[in-house]
Amino acid sequence: FNIIKVNNEQQFNETGAGIIASLLQTNPRAALGLATGGTPVGVYQHLIELHKQGLVSFKEVRSYNLDEYIGLAEDHSESYRRFMNEKLFNHVDIDLNNTHVPSGVSGDGHKAAEEYTQLLEQAGQIDLQLLGLGHNGHIGFNEPADELKAATHVVELDEVTRKANARYFNSIDEVPTHAITMGIGSILKAKQILLMAKGADKAEIVAKALKGPVTTQCPASLLQLHPNVVVIVDQDAGRLL
């Protein structure tokens, strides 16, 4: 791993955004794999700044998000489609038709997952896949399990994941029980992976994922098999490295 330890939130966001921006400067037609959650919000804000300064364009970028809740309408305040539109897409020059988030409202999650798998196959290799890290080691919504799936699929969310994400809802009961996520195979196919984690509550899982055994019980540990992973952590999350 190429591990970058930063000193503060601003550096965290600038470093992440900088890596994405320089990719787009050399390859304006790049395919980006994108994540939601708290971790990338500041990164997206900084990318918007860079765009406003005329330093980066998304005009020809194609994007593929990792996951989506099942059962939340696209305009629901917590749907990942809405998150992406509000936190990034609406503020840059990306063509919304070139942005892709799995559909959580098709009525048939398995079919939607299959369609997303096909879409990814047609897309070819993702140039850079941005990842956050769940407290249980999940990436995308690939939760710890005896077996992991390679392709996009429907998952039942872990209780810890629903609890962690309940902060965005009125109560945990409103957090969907299922989601659609890219599989580990699709994630590992990306040319480059950018894993980002911040905060003391991520320190243990960061160390487990990067230095522990490669095991399906910690899906992020499979990143140890990928030849080109950049990790950005703040001092808190990187404390045990």
Query: Which 62-81 residues touch ligand F6R, going by CB under 6 A?
Result: 66-67
Query: Which 187-206 residues touch ligand F6R, going by CB under 6 A?
Result: none
Please say if 136 is a catalytic residue.
yes
Q: Using the rule CB under 6 A, is 39 a contact of ligand F6R?
A: yes
| Contacting residue, 30, 35, 56, 206, with ligand F6R by CB under 6 A | 35
4 vs 57, beta carbon nearer ligand F6R: 4
How near is the Cβ of 127 to ligand F6R at its closest, in Å?
18
| Active-site residue identified among 67, 68, 127, 234 | 67
Please say if 67 is a catalytic residue.
yes
Q: Using the rule CB under 6 A, is 37 a contact of ligand F6R?
A: yes
Q: Which residue bears the tokens 């020059």?
A: 93
| Contacting residue, 102, 109, 137, 140, with ligand F6R by CB under 6 A | 140
For residues 75-101, one letter each, b for 16 or more C-beta atoms within 10 angstroms of the residue's C-beta and e for the rest, the string is: ebeebbbbbbbebbbebbebeeebbbb
Residues touching ligand F6R, count (CB under 6 A): 14
Q: Is the dihedral of CA 128, 235, 204, 46 positive or negative?
A: negative
Binding residues vs ligand F6R (CB under 6 A): 35-39, 66-67, 132-134, 138-141
What are the catalytic residues? 67, 136, 138, 143
